[in-house]
Structure 1
Amino acid sequence: MNQITQTAPTKEKAITVALEKLGVSKQEVTITVLDEGKKGFLGIGVKPAVVQVTVLKKEEKIEEVLQSLEKIEEPIDTNDISNLNVGVNPEGSNNKAIEETIEYIREIAKEMKIDDLMIEQKQEGKFIHLHLNSNKAALLIGKRGQTLNAMENLAQLVANKFSNSFIIIKLDVGNYRERRQESLEQLAERMADKAVRTGSKVEFEPMSSFERKIIHNALSARVDIETYSVGTDPNRHLVIEPIK
């Protein structure tokens, strides 16, 4: 079954039921709202919502993936299991999950005109590390790791679909993650020293919650400054303020 028309009291409920019946995630379908429905008044004039959910073909999925890579995506916080959308497949296998995930990444790279992609695989307990290498590494990383973060999130969704136990996919390109963390920690110390030296607060450019957390942690032992985040995504940013 590749398409279903579902009726429910609300649009959200109809979508949820349709996805469950199709056995797919929201990222794998297109959703058309045929009727928003009506709540009515005192039970009069109630009208259910109707949606049509269609499973994307392989090539359509890749096109949507490429479009999603243009949006700001945050890497999954592996310390918070609730963020991992962990729904395993009792009939699947972890080997199958890894194979499908690697193939999915290769398809994305191919659509990005990257034809020299090499993928090294390493497993450490529940963590599956996939190291990507290419002469076009900058394309895989994107601005401030935006593309890499989006690919990691999508890879996790693919793995969940085929795995029969809890695993976490971690993507990296040329040790970018480690280099980015070291860069942010060094920046954090410099900005903290500047805040203390000038006696004024210092504001960073907008960052993902994951990167703000790195800076918070890097400065957590200092007693001469405090750090906090202000604003709303995608413009939420971190502030360092000296303690006087």
Structure 2
Amino acid sequence: MTMMTQRGATVEEAIKAALQTLDVSRDKVKVEVLDQGRKGFFGIGSKEAEVKITVIDKVIPIHTNEKETPETKSIALDDESIESIEDVVKEGRNLSNDVDVDSDEDAIKETKQYLSSVAEEMKIDDLDISYEIDGKYVNFQLESEKAALLIGKRGQTLNALQQLGQLVANKNSSQFKVVRIDVGDYRGRREQSLEQLAERMADRAVRTGRKVQLEPMPAYERKVIHHSLSSRLDIETYSEGSDPYRYLVIEPIR
């Protein structure tokens, strides 16, 4: 069961923000008001309202404020293929259970084979995989006409493949490996987009004098934003919530 806490100027604004983040309608959630909040006197002593949202039906969060490009737009799958990111994870774990390696070189080769197997389950038959080894880092590059399918909504599928690929690579390898998986130059474009978003949201926080809450994102993307804004002295950044709905907050320093 999915749940998250959300703050807002009022209870209704907090609920609305949570529904947008989870991409569900009001009738699909249970709402618990944790704090009614208060307006204060001319803004002094004000406190945000806080609610707890529990999703009744199982859903996958889809939330976006940025315009999608053909490279990042997700592609719907047919009934016989994997239909969600959770299916990718589940299928990947089943395949990884069959992996048995006894050397670092074999671990990398088996990881490559594992990625190919997952792609086949996703009905991708033109996948080309190359990799480079840089110390403990293994960088896999995936190429396919169905690149958008490998990336998924906001990179969710790609992130899942990377997480599972790392599990396979480190199952029996003698040295810990950090697996990085990219499709085209998606990671680079995504980082640039996050850095631009970070600056815009930081400027908004300073201009309005109010903290800005970003959408939930994986740890490495939050790290990109933290790093991008680390030199600014007029704001601070921190994360709140629990994975996979952990989000970053940009707050102006007064």
Name the TM-score class by shorter chain. Answer: 0.5 to 0.7
Structure (1 or 2) with the larger CA radius of gyration: 1
Q: How far has the Cα of 1:101 moved from its partner? A: 0.8
1:70 is aligned, of 86, 93, 115, to 86
2:202 is aligned, of 192, 200, 207, to 192
Secondary structure of 1:186's partner?
A: helix
- Unpaired stretches in structure 2, ≥5 consecutive residues: 1-81, 90-99
2:170 is aligned, of 153, 160, 166, to 160
Partner Cα separation in structure 2 for residue 72 and residue 197 of structure 1:
42
Q: Which residue of 1 aligns with 2:192?
A: 182
Letter in 2 for 1:106: S
Q: Which residue of 2 aligns with 1:239?
A: 249
Secondary structure of 1:191's partner?
A: helix
Whether 1:221 and 2:220 are equivalent positions in the alignment is: no
1:210 is aligned, of 207, 214, 220, to 220
Secondary structure of 1:107's partner?
A: helix
Cα deviation per residue 1:8-43 (whole Å; 9 max; x = unaligned)? Answer: xxxxxxxxxxxxxxxxxxxxxxxxxxxxxxxxxxxx
Cα deviation per residue 1:23-72 (whole Å; 9 max; x = unaligned)? Answer: xxxxxxxxxxxxxxxxxxxxxxxxxxxxxxxxxxxxxxxxxxx6883279
Partner Cα separation in structure 1 for residue 244 and residue 116 of structure 2:
29
Cα RMSD, aligned residues only: 2.3
Whether 1:128 and 2:138 are equivalent positions in the alignment is: yes
Partner Cα separation in structure 1 for residue 222 and residue 110 of structure 2:
32
Shift in alpha-carbon separation, 1:72–1:183, aligned structure 2, 3 A: farther
The structure whose residues are more often helix, as a share, is 1
The TM-score with structure 1 as length reference comes to 0.61
Letter in 1 for 2:234: D
Q: How far has the Cα of 1:131 moved from its partner? A: 0.1
Alignment of 1:1-244 (within 5 A): 69-70=85-86, 92-244=102-254
Letter in 1 for 2:180: K
Note if contact 2:216-2:247 (Cα within 8 Å) is conserved in structure 1: yes
Q: How far has the Cα of 1:212 moved from its partner? A: 1.4
Q: How far has the Cα of 1:213 moved from its partner? A: 1.7
Partner Cα separation in structure 2 for residue 135 and residue 123 of structure 1:
25
- Unpaired stretches in structure 1, ≥5 consecutive residues: 1-65, 74-88
Q: How far has the Cα of 1:112 moved from its partner? A: 0.4
Partner Cα separation in structure 1 for residue 130 and residue 172 of structure 2:
20
Note if contact 2:129-2:143 (Cα within 8 Å) is conserved in structure 1: yes
Partner Cα separation in structure 2 for residue 67 and residue 162 of structure 1:
30
Secondary structure of 2:86's partner?
A: coil
Shift in alpha-carbon separation, 1:184–1:116, aligned structure 2, 3 A: same
Partner Cα separation in structure 1 for residue 107 and residue 88 of structure 2:
26
Partner Cα separation in structure 1 for residue 242 and residue 170 of structure 2:
30
